[in-house]
Amino acid sequence: MKLGSQNQLLFPSHGSRTLFFGNDLDWLHYTWIDIGTPNLSFLVAVDAGSDLLWLPCDCIQCAPLSSTFYSSLDRDLSEYRPSLSSSSTHLSCNHQLCDLGSHCKNLRDDPCPYVANYGDSENTSSSGFLIEDKLHLASVSLNSNSTQKQMQASVVLGCGRKQTGGYLDGAAPDGVMGLGPGDISVPSLLAKAGLIPKSFSLCFDVNGSGTILFGDLGHTSQKSTPLLPLQGRYDAYLIEVESYCVGNSCLEQSGFKALVDSGSSFTYLPTDVYNKIVLEFDKQVNAERISSQGGPWNYCYNVSSKQLNDIPAMRLQFLMNQSLLIHNSTYYVPQNQEFTVFCLTLQPIDYNYGIIGQNYMTGYRVVFNMEDLKLGWSSSNCQDISDETEVNIAPPRDDGSPNPLPTNEQQSIPNKHAVAPAVAGRTSSKPSVASKHIPCLHLHISSLTLLLHMYLFVLHI
C-alpha cells in the first residue's frame, strides 16, 4: 500500500477545484467535499493552519445555511446529521485522538467533546463532539491518464453544534477542513491509512480558481525550504525567511520565521520587519499615498494607469538562494478609466513570527511535504499536476455549484480582518508546553490558525 500510495493523487470526489468568493465568504478559499452514507456535500474552507475537519452538525448555534444569505451561492449549504449516516460512529472518550477525554463521565461510552478556538479578534470558535465517518474521494495515477477511481476513507470530523464569532458572520458557514500536520487532520489520516505519502498541495490561481491534491510531492524541479520544528515537534508549517526584498533591494535584518497558512486571507509580518518593508515600499513607489478609509491596510495609493506598471515587485528570499516572487502583494480598486486605488496587503503582528497567508501563495503550487519536512513551490496555472503528465481532474458534478468568481460587490476594500490570522490547534486537556508557562491558557485547540501555536511562538521562537 505504501509503495502504491507514491503513485496516486487523491482529491475530493467533486473534483480537486478550490473556489474563492472574495468578501462574500470572508476572503477564504473553499472546496466541496462529500461525507457520510448516503453522501452529503459541504463547502468547507481549506485551512493549512489547523488540524480539525468540522461541519455544522445537529446545530444549536450555526451560521445560516440558506443560499439567500450569500450573494455568491445559488444552492443551500448542508447540515451534517450523524444519525442519518449509516457509516458514522462517535469517537469515544478513550480514543487516542480524543484530547478532552478527562472531561467525560464515561470514557468508553461518552462521545469525545472538542472545542476549537481560532486566533482572530472576534472570539471565533466551534465546539461539539468528534465523529468518525467516510470522506468520498477520487484517485488518479501519476503514471498514466487512467480513469479516475472513486473511493472512501475514514476520517475524524467535528460535529460542530455551536459556532461563535466570525463563523456566524460569513466565514466558513459550512465548515473548515484542517490540513495541518496534526494526527487528526485529513492528510495525516489518509497517510496513516497508507493511501498517500504525508504531503498535499494547494494551488491558487490569480483568477480565484485553484486545486487541492492529497499525496502531491510536487515537481522535481520545484524550489523548497525546510520546515522547522517547534520544541522538536512539527506541529505547524513553519519556515524561515532570510530576507524580504522590495524592488531590487533585499533589506538587512528583514528575516523572520513564519507560519504558512491558507486559513489566513492575507499576510502578516512582525512589527519591526513590517515597518522596514512598508517604508522601503513607500520610498520606491511613485504614487500619492491616501487614507484606506477604514480598511485594514495602512499603505494605500491613488495611481494613474501608467503608474500601475511602476509598482515595485516584492520577493521572499530563503536559504540556498531560493526565492518566491509575490504575485499578489497588492489589492486594487479601480476608480475610473484613468485612476486606480491600490493597497499593500500587509499588516503588522505583535509577535516575533509572521503569517504567510493565501494571497502570497497565489500563482504557485505550494506543497506541504511532511515526508521530507519541506515546503515546496513552483509557478503554476493550477492545471497540470505532474512533471510528465497533464491529468484532467473533473470539476464538481453538480451544475448548481457556486460561481467561483467574485462579483462586483466583492471588489470593495474590506473593512475588517478576515478570519486571519487564524492561530488554532486541537483542544487538549493535557498540559501543553504553553500552558505550563501561561496558567491562564485552558482548553485551547487547533486552527484558521490555533491559539496554542501562537503561544508557542511567543515563548520559543
Q: What is the DSSP string of 87-107?
A: T-EEPBTTSTT-TTGGG-S-T
Q: What is the DSSP letter of 410?
A: G
Q: How many helices (H) and strands (E) does the chain have?
A: 6, 30
User: Any catalytic annotation for residue 133?
Assistant: no
Rama region for 51: left / alpha / beta (φ>0; ψ in -120 to 50; rest): alpha
Phi, psi at 272, each rounded to 5°? -65, -40
CA 273/CA 257 separation, integer angstroms: 11
Q: How far apart are CA 177 and CA 43, in angstroms?
A: 9
User: Which of the following is catalytic: 26, 47, 51, 174?
Assistant: 47
Distance from C-alpha of 268 to C-alpha of 219, rounded to nearest angstrom: 28
Q: DSSP 3-state assignment of 244?
A: strand
Cell 475530493 locates to 12
Q: Say which amino acid occupies 252.
A: E
Please give the single-letter amino acid code of residue 323: S
Please choose, from the candidates 321, 354, 121, the residue with its C-alpha nearest in 3D space to the C-alpha of residue 236.
354
Cα gap 69→59, rounded to integer Å: 17
Look up 261 and say whether it is catalytic. yes
On the question of a cis peptide bond just before residue 421, with omega within 30 degrees of 0, the verdict is yes
Element (H, E) at 282: helix 271-284
Asked if residue 74 lies in contact with residue 407, where contact means CB atoms within 8 angstroms, the answer is no
Which of 26, 120, 133, 261 is catalytic? The answer is 261
Biggest distance spanned by C-alpha atoms of the chain: 69
**Residue 214: what are its φ and ψ, rounded to 5°?**
-85, 135
Measured CA to CA, the distance from residue 30 to residue 19 in angstroms comes to 5
- Alpha-carbon span 287 to 282, nearest angstrom: 9
Q: What is the three-class DSSP state of 433? A: helix
- Residues 197 and 205: beta-carbon distance below 8 Å: no
Active site residues: 47, 261
